[in-house]
Structure 1
Amino acid sequence: MIELFSAGLEPPVFWALIAVSFISSFITVALGIGGGALLLAVMASVMPPLALIPVHGVIQTGSNVLRMAVLIRHVHWPPVALFLLGTVIGVACGGSVVVNLPPGAIMIGVGGFVIWSVLARPPAWLSRLPLVTGLISSFLTMFFGATGVFVANFTKSLNLPRQSHVASHAAFMTLQHLAKVLVFGILGFAFGPWLGFLLVMILAGFLGTLAGRLVLTRLTDTSFRRALDVVLILISIRLIWMGLRSLF
C-alpha cells in the first residue's frame, strides 16, 4: 500500500517527510512563517534535485489553499489582485531565464533583506507596492523555492492582526506557488509519479494547520509579532549561511 504514495522513497524517508509536513504547517500557522523553508530544507536532503522545487511547490499550494480556507474570513483582500499580477510576471520571467542564477547569491540577498526589514522598519514601499513584491518574490521562487519569508515582510508591513496576517499570507503564497507549478508543468515536469505522495503530504499539512490554529487563537498580537520576528531572523541567518557555503 505504501508504494502507492511513497513515489519510490524509502519508508523511513516517506514517514519522516509526512511528519515534517505536519510540523511545518503547524509552525506556519502558529508563528506566521517558517514552515515552507523548513520543509524545503528537509526535502532537499532526501529528494532528487530536479523534482525538489516543483514537488515542493505543489505541496505548498495545497497547504496554503487549505490554510486560507480555514481562515478565509480574515483574508485582507485589497492587495491580492496586484500581487497576482506581479506573480504572473515574476514566474514568467523566472521560467524564461536560461542561465540559472547562483542559488547562493539569491539566498544571501533574500536573507539580508529580511533581517534588515525586521531590525529596521519594513520599507514604506513594501506596503504600497504589492505588484513589485509579487514580481520579485515570484521570480525568486523559481530558483529558490521557499520565498514565504520574503512575502511575510510584505504581509507584516500591512500591520494586520495575527489571524489576518496568517490568512493573507496564505492567499499570497497560494497564488505564487500555483503559478510556479503551472510554469513547471508547461516546462515539462512530470507530476504524475508524485501524485500519491503529494496527496498524503498535503493532508498531513492540513492536519498541522488545524493544530496550529489552536495555538494562534491563544496568542496576543504582540507576542505573535515578536515570535514572527524571531522566526524571520533565524530563517534568514540560515539562508545566508547556506548561501555562503554554496558560493565558497
Structure 2
Amino acid sequence: MDEIVLGLITFFTSTVAGVVGLGGGMMLIAILPSFLPLNALIPVHGLTQMSSNLSRAVFGYKYVKLETIPKFLLGSICGIALFASILYFISLEFVPLFIGIYILLSLWSKKFNEKIKRYESYFLAGFFQTGLSIVVGATGPLTMTLLLKDYEDKHIVVATGAALMSITHTLKVFVFMFFGFVFFDYLGVLIAMIIGAVTGSYVGTKLRDKIEGKKFVLLLKVLLSALAVKLIIGLLW
C-alpha cells in the first residue's frame, strides 16, 4: 500500500517540477519521513529525483543548453568529493539560512546582482549544489536562480535545470552506494516512485506549454522565494 501511495505522491511532485522546474523534490523530502526510516530518506529521495530530473531533461532535450554542463559537472565532482570527505568534521547547521538569503537577494535585489555576477558561475553552482546535496535537501534553487538570469525561455530554464540537477542526484546516489547504502532493500518503493517520477515529468512537460512566459517567470520567482523563506524560518524557528 505504501508503494502505491508514494508512487502517486511522486507523480504529483514530479508534475509540479515538470511545469515550473523545481519544488517537487522539496515537497517529496518533506513527506518521506512519514513512510521511510531516517537513514533511507536522502538516498531514496536522491534516486527518485535522479529519475525525475533525467526524464524531464530527456523530454525537453531540444532545450538543454549543453554548454552549461562541463563546468557544472566539474564543479559537482569537486564539491561532492570535498563535502563527502569532510562531512563528519564540519557543522552545516546554518547552510540553509545562507541559501535562503542568497536566493531572495538574487531574485529581488539589483544591487546584489550587480556585485555577485562577477563571482557566479556554473562551476560554483555545481560545487555547492552537489556538494551540499548529500546533507541539505534544498540546493536545486541555486542553479535555477542562475538559469533564470541567463535565459528567458521557460523550456530552456526547466530542461537545462533538470539536466544539471540530474548530475547532482546521480553523483549523490554513487556516494551513498560507496558508503554502503543498499538500495535493493527498498526495491518495491523505488520502482513505484520512479514510475511516478517519470510519468509526472511527462505530464508536467506537456502542461508547461499552457503557462505564458511572463507568468511562468513570476510563478517561478514566487515559488523560489517561498522556498527560501521556508528555509530561513525553518532554521531560525
Query: Structure 1 length normalisation: TM-score?
Result: 0.88
- CA–CA separation in structure 2 for the residues paired with 1:213 and 1:76: 17
Q: Which residue of 2 aligns with 1:8?
A: none
Q: Hey, what's the Cα distance between the residues in 2 that align with 1:60 and 1:73?
A: 21
Distance 2:177 2:118 in 1: 33
* 2: CA distance, partners of 1:86 / 1:147: 14
Could you tell me whether the CA contact under 8 Å between 1:133 and 1:151 is conserved in 2? yes
Total equivalences in the alignment: 233
| 1:164-203 alignment runs, 5 A limit | 164-203=156-195
| 2:88 maps to which of 80, 99, 102 | 99
Q: Which runs of 4+ in 1 moved over 3 A?
A: 13-16, 100-104
TM-score, scaled relative to structure 2 = 0.92
RMSD: 1.7
**Is 1:52 aligned to 2:44, yes or no?**
no
Amino acid across the alignment from 2:23? G
Correspondence 1:46-195 to 2 at 5 A: 46-99=35-88, 101-102=90-91, 104-121=93-110, 122=113, 123-125=116-118, 129-195=121-187
Deviation at 1:230, TM superposition (A): 0.6
SS of 1:189 mapped into structure 2: coil
Q: C-alpha displacement at 1:137, in angstroms?
A: 1.2
* Alpha-carbon separation, structure 2, partners of 1:72 and 1:79: 14
Residue 119 of structure 1: CA displacement?
1.3
| Deviation by residue 1:138-166 (Cα, 9 ceiling, x = unmatched) | 11111113411222112212124001111
How has the CA–CA distance of structure 1 residues 101 and 244 changed in structure 2, closer, same or farther, with 3 Å as cutoff? farther
Residue deviations 1:11-50, cap 9 Å, x none?
3x44332222111111112122211111111113432111
Amino acid in structure 2 at the alignment position of 1:99? Y
Closer/same/farther in 2, CA of residues 166 and 87 from structure 1, 3 Å limit: same
In 2 relative to 1, CA 61–100 (structure 1 residues): closer, same or farther, beyond 3 Å?
farther
Kindly tell me: are residues 188 and 129 of structure 1, through their superposed partners in 2, closer, same or farther at Cα, counting changes over 3 Å? same
Q: Which segments of 5 or more consecutive residues in structure 2 lack a partner in the other structure?
A: none
